[in-house]
Structure 1
Amino acid sequence: MTHTVREGYTGSGPGAITPDGCPVELYLRLPVGDEPDIVERAAPAGAGVLELGCGPGRITRPLLRRGFTVTAVDESPEMLEHIHGARTVCSPIETLELDERFDVVLLASFLVHAAGPGVRDGLLRACRRHVADDGCVLIQREAADRHEDLPKEREIEGGLIRVVSSDPVRPGVRSVHVECVFPDARWTQTFLSCPLTDEEFERALAQAGLVVDGYLTEDRTWARARPV
C-alpha cells in the first residue's frame, strides 16, 4: 500500500511510514556506516549530543556504546519506539524548543538538503538554538555526484538499495526515488532534495548564525560548524 505524506514525500511497503516518507521497518534494517566514527573524532569524549532526525536509532545506539549522552529527536513516534537508553523527544526539528544547549548537535541523513519553503533554514536555526557557545554542529551533506549516473545501486546486508531517479521539479529542487529490495519485502521512498554547492551550503549556515569550522571527510560530505 502507498502512503501519501507531505507534498513531494511518499513511501510504500510494509509497516508504518513517517511524515517524510520513511518506512520505519526499512530503516530498522539499514546498517550503520562510519557516522559514529566521524562523530567520535569531531566531538569531545562523553559529550552531550542532540541527535536531530534520529529515526529508529541506527546512529544513536553506537554513540551510546561509545559513552556519549544522547537526546534523540524525531517527529515520528513509531521511530522513537525503537530508541532505548537515550532520552527521546517527539517533535519536528524546525519547531524544536528545548530549554537547554548541547556540546554537539548532529544533523545527519542529508537532512540539510530537505526541500520546502524555509525548511532548511528552520533546520539550521534549530541547530543554532541548541548548540552551546563552545559547542559544534556536525552536518552530513550529499556527495557531489549523488544525482548523477542513475540508476545506481549498492548492496547492504540482506538487501539492495537502488537510487532509481533524481528529476528536477522546480529550480534547485529534485525529486529522488529510491527502491529497497529484500527477499521478504520491498519498500520505496520518494523525497525532495536541494543540491548545495559549498558556497550555497556555507551561505545557508551563515544565515542561521553558523560558520564552517572544517570539513571532516575528503569528499566534504561531513562538516563541522560553530556558532558565530
Structure 2
Amino acid sequence: MGRVNEWTREGHGGTGTGAITPDGCAVEVYTRLPAGDEPEVVASAVPAGASLLELGCGAGRLTHPLLERGFAVTAVDESPEMLEHVRGARTVRSSIETLDLGERFDVVLLASFLVHAGDVRVRDALLRACRRHVADGGCVLVQREGEDWHERVPRERRAGDALIRVVSAGPDADPGVSSIRCEYTFPDGTWTQTFRSRRLSGEEFGRALAGAGLIADAYLTEDRTWVRALPVR
C-alpha cells in the first residue's frame, strides 16, 4: 500500500509502493510513464520558445520534453513528492484551483484530463485559473477524454513497459460522473488509481469554457482529445 496523503480527495485513491497524491496518482508510476506524442501536440500548436504554465505537472512527464524543445516552463503541482522529480523548470507547489501567480503566460496547459473533475465547482475553478494566467494574445491547451471513454470499459493499452487497464470502479452518487479505476502493471509491480470523472459532451465543454471566459479555437488531434482555447476579451 502506498503512502496516502491525509488530504486525499473524496472518491479518489491509489495503491502501490511509494507516495500517493491527493487524487490517487502513484508518484512512482508517473516517473516511469513515457510522454508519448503529447509534447509534439503542444509544440505544434503554440509559438516556439513561448512561456508556458503547466498546471498539474506531476513528475515532469511533459515538463522535461517541453524544456528540451525550448519552452520556458513554470510547473505547478500540489504534490511535493511529484515536484521533487521536476528538473530545469521553475516549480510552484499549489492547488490549481487557488493558484494566482499575478502574471500571465503565452500558453497555459491543462493536461491529464483534469477538466473532467467530478465536482463541477472544481472543474470551473480549474478553467478560471487557466483564464487568470493566460496572456491576452495567448492560448490555453486542454486535454479532454475521448468522447466514448466512459462507455468503452474495460479497455487497455501499452505505454512503454506498462500495461494500462481501465475499468469501471462502480456507480457514483452523481449520474453524470463515473467512478474509474486504472491499473498500471509493470514487470516489477502493479499500481492502481481510482478517481471520479465527469462526462462532458462537446456542448457541455463549450459552456464550461465560456463560463471561464474562454472559447474553443481548434481541435489539435483527430480523436479531439486536445483542444486549443482562446481568452475572450
Q: Give the alignment's TM-score, normalised by structure 2.
A: 0.95
1:66 matched residue in structure 2: 69
Query: Is contact 1:147–1:166 with CA below 8 Å preserved after alignment?
Result: no
Supply the distance in 1 between the matched residues of 2:53 and 2:33 (Cα, whole angstroms): 21
2:92 matched residue in structure 1: 89
Query: Is contact 2:33–2:162 with CA below 8 Å preserved after alignment?
Result: no
Secondary structure, aligned partner of 2:19: coil
Secondary structure, aligned partner of 2:73: strand
Query: Is contact 1:178–1:189 with CA below 8 Å preserved after alignment?
Result: yes
CA shift, 1:166, in A, is 5.4
Secondary structure, aligned partner of 2:157: strand
2:181 matched residue in structure 1: 177
Supply the distance in 2 between the matched residues of 1:122 and 1:36 (Cα, whole angstroms): 25
Amino acid at match of 1:194: R
C-alpha change, 1:166 and 1:217, in structure 2 (3 Å) is farther
Amino acid at match of 1:210: L
Secondary structure, aligned partner of 2:92: strand
Supply the distance in 2 between the matched residues of 1:80 and 1:38 (Cα, whole angstroms): 23
Amino acid at match of 2:73: V
2:206 matched residue in structure 1: 202
Residue by residue, what CA displacement relative to the aligned partner does 1:71-105 show, whole Å, maximum 9, x if unpaired?
00000000000011000000000000101000000
1:13 matched residue in structure 2: 16
Amino acid at match of 1:155: R
Supply the distance in 2 between the matched residues of 1:206 and 1:117 (Cα, whole angstroms): 14
CA shift, 1:117, in A, is 4.8
Residue by residue, what CA displacement relative to the aligned partner does 1:115-140 show, whole Å, maximum 9, x if unpaired?
12500000000000000000000000
Matches within 5 A, 1:90-105: 90-105=93-108
1:131 matched residue in structure 2: 134
Supply the distance in 1 between the matched residues of 2:64 and 2:24 (Cα, whole angstroms): 23
CA shift, 1:201, in A, is 0.2
Query: Is contact 2:170–2:180 with CA below 8 Å preserved after alignment?
Result: yes
1:224 matched residue in structure 2: 228
Match of 1:142 among 145, 157, 167: 145
Supply the distance in 2 between the matched residues of 1:219 and 1:168 (Cα, whole angstroms): 27
1:43 matched residue in structure 2: 46
CA shift, 1:221, in A, is 0.7
Supply the distance in 2 between the matched residues of 1:155 and 1:40 (Cα, whole angstroms): 24
Query: Is contact 1:172–1:194 with CA below 8 Å preserved after alignment?
Result: yes
C-alpha change, 1:126 and 1:190, in structure 2 (3 Å) is same
Q: Give the alignment's TM-score, normalised by structure 1.
A: 0.97
Report the more deviating stretch, 64-73 or 33-42: 33-42
Query: Is contact 2:53–2:76 with CA below 8 Å preserved after alignment?
Result: yes
Query: Is contact 2:128–2:212 with CA below 8 Å preserved after alignment?
Result: yes
Q: For the aligned residues, what is the CA RMSD?
A: 1.2
- 5+ residue gaps, structure 2, are none
CA shift, 1:181, in A, is 1.1
Amino acid at match of 2:145: E
Secondary structure, aligned partner of 2:86: coil
- 5+ residue gaps, structure 1, are none
Supply the distance in 2 between the matched residues of 1:62 and 1:182 (Cα, whole angstroms): 23
Secondary structure, aligned partner of 1:118: helix
